[in-house]
């Protein structure tokens, strides 16, 4: 069975759900790139693993040397839009195309490599997004998180927690019925087309519990459950699309003196950093022993 480790580089400033995020943006982004990201790169190095990084285009030029070194180390840089709009699917087709094109251009300008893969902010994707990716020459999308448990939790979170109710878009529940393994996708999200050259690589959904294999929502539930999920995916011959977010590597000390509340990062940071590093060490060791590790751009269907 094949497995991928892939990480979304949403910075601390992308987690604030009010207008002040614009003001706080620059120093918060610096924390993520300068202090947090090196911890993840260290783990990969120690395990000799290559990962797919979904990058936000507006940050690339300011950290060009960092992104070049990541690409030169053999990792994959993929497109996570130019500005990370949580409302991507509500934008006009022209605006969606621009979000995709500008991020791809920023990565190409900084590293000389053009991304071939894409993940939408918040796992929200639509036929318009897929059409735009095809037009830009992309070969895969990995945005579909077809877990109804995840969608139900997200809807509840949006209803009770967010200051700005409009800030997060949820995928239609109807999209939870699609294929579970990478597939050649038609112009419609959950439909196959054997003649299509374009792949959808869904985030893995764990059998029985219908939970996504996303460490951001597994970390708090502990290592034994996470390893149980991995074994279920392997037993069911599911491609292991393991999705992380860079804020999972934030230390409590990184947040000291920082203004703003970070609902998710504060939950991760409540777990001692050393324990989280051990969690990922064990998870990656187990993945390597059970799976062939691949970059998303090398997945075939």
Burial label, 158 (beta-carbon count in 10 A; 0-12, 13-18, 19+): middle
- Measured from the CB atom, is 29 or 238 closer to Zn ion? 29
Site string for Zn ion, 9-28 (x = CB under 5 A): -x------------------
Q: Work out how close the CB of 121 gets to Zn ion at its nearest, in angstroms, rounded to a whole number.
A: 4
- Measured from the CB atom, is 100 or 291 closer to Zn ion? 100
Find the largest Cα–Cα distance for the chain: 54
Name the residue number minimizing CB distance to Zn ion: 10
Contact between 104 and 93 (Cβ < 8 Å): no
For position 59 contacting Zn ion by CB under 5 A, the verdict is no
Q: Work out how close the CB of 9 gets to Zn ion at its nearest, in angstroms, rounded to a whole number.
A: 8
* 284 vs 25: CA distance, rounded Å: 32
Site string for Zn ion, 97-136 (x = CB under 5 A): ------------------------x---------------
Q: Which stretch binds Zn ion (CB under 5 A): 2-10, 95-103, 107-115, 199-207?
A: 2-10
Q: Which of 219, 64, 51, 226 is nearest to 142 (CA)?
A: 51
3-state secondary structure string across 203-232: CCEECCCCEECEHHHCHHHCHHHHHHHHHH
Structure tokens at 256: 């000291």
Q: Work out how close the CB of 118 gets to Zn ion at its nearest, in angstroms, rounded to a whole number.
A: 12
Three-class secondary structure of residue 297 per DSSP: helix
- Measured from the CB atom, is 10 or 59 closer to Zn ion? 10
**Site of interaction with Zn ion (CB under 5 A):** 8, 10, 121
């Amino acid at each position: 069975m094949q497995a991928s480790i892939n990480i979304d580089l949403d910075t601390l400033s992308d987690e604030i759900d009010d207008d002040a995020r614009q003001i706080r943006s620059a120093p918060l982004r610096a924390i993520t790139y300068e202090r947090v990201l090196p911890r993840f790169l260290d783990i990969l190095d120690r395990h000799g693993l290559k990962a797919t990084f979904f990058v936000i285009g507006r940050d690339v030029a300011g950290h060009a040397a960092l992104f070049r070194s990541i690409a030169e180390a053999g990792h994959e840089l993929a497109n996570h839009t130019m500005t990370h709009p949580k409302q991507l699917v509500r934008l006009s087709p022209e605006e969606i195309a621009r979000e995709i094109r500008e991020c791809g251009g920023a990565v190409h300008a900084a590293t000389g490599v053009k991304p071939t893969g894409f993940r939408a902010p918040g796992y929200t994707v639509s036929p318009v997004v897929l059409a735009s990716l095809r037009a830009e020459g992309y070969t895969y999308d990995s945005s579909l998180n077809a877990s109804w448990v995840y969608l139900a939790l997200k809807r509840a979170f949006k209803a009770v927690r967010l200051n700005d109710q409009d800030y997060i878009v949820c995928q239609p529940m109807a999209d939870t019925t699609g294929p579970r393994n990478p597939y050649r996708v038609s112009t419609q999200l959950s439909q196959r087309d054997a003649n299509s050259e374009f792949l959808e690589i869904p985030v893995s959904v764990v059998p029985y519990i219908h939970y996504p294999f996303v460490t951001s929502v597994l970390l708090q539930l502990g290592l034994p459950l996470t390893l149980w999920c991995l074994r279920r995916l392997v037993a069911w011959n599911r491609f292991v699309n393991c999705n992380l977010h860079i804020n999972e590597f934030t230390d409590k000390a990184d947040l000291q003196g920082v203004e703003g509340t970070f609902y998710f990062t504060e939950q991760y940071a409540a777990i001692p950093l050393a324990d989280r590093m051990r969690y990922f060490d064990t998870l990656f060791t187990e993945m390597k022993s059970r799976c062939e590790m691949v970059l998303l751009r090398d997945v075939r269907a």
